[in-house]
C-alpha cells in the first residue's frame, strides 16, 4: 500500500513539474497547445511514460516525435524542479483514451439500435 501511495505521489509531482516546464519554459509556441493526461512511473523509478493529447488528434504524432527528440532537455529541467535521487528516463507517448472512448461509444450506439 505504501509503495502505491509513493508511486502516485511521484507521478503527480512529475506531471505537475512537466506541465510547469511546458507552459513556462518552452519557447516554441506550437508546442504549448498539448496537454499531459497522465504519467506512468516504473516500479524502480527508472522509466517514466508520459501520455499526451492534443485537441487536433492528427498533430499528436508530430508533437510526440518532437518531445522524444528533446527528452534530455526535459530530464535536466525536471532535475532542477524535483528533489529525486535519480530522474527517470522519459518516454513521451500518444494517449489513446479519446479514440478508445469514441470506439466504445460507437459500440453502445450499435447495441442500442
The average pLDDT across 5-28 equals 87
Regarding pTM above 0.85, the answer is no
Residue 31 scores a pLDDT above 90 = no
Helix, strand counts (H, E) of the chain: 4, 3
Per-residue model confidence (pLDDT) at position 7: 87
Per-residue model confidence (pLDDT) at position 53: 85
Q: 107 or 51: which carries more pLDDT confidence? A: 51
The percentage of the chain sitting over the pLDDT mark of 90, rounded to a whole number, equals 24
Polymer length of the chain: 113
Q: 9 or 4: which carries more pLDDT confidence? A: 9
Tens digit of each residue's pLDDT (9 = 90 or more) over 34-63: 888 899 998 888 899 999 987 777 788 888
Per-residue model confidence (pLDDT) at position 30: 67
Which residues 6+ apart lie within 8 Å of 76 measured at CB? none
Amino acid at each position: 500500500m505504501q509503495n502505491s501511495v509513493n508511486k502516485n505521489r511521484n507521478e503527480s509531482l512529475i506531471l505537475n513539474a512537466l506541465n510547469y516546464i511546458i507552459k513556462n519554459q518552452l519557447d516554441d509556441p506550437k508546442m504549448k497547445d498539448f496537454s499531459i493526461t497522465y504519467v506512468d512511473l516504473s516500479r524502480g523509478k527508472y522509466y517514466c511514460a508520459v501520455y499526451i493529447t492534443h485537441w487536433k488528434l492528427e498533430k499528436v504524432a508530430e508533437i510526440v516525435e518532437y518531445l522524444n527528440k528533446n527528452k534530455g532537455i526535459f530530464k535536466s529541467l525536471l532535475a532542477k524542479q524535483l528533489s529525486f535521487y535519480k530522474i527517470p528516463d522519459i518516454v513521451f507517448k500518444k494517449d489513446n483514451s479519446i479514440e478508445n472512448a469514441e470506439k466504445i461509444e460507437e459500440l453502445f450506439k450499435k447495441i442500442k439500435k
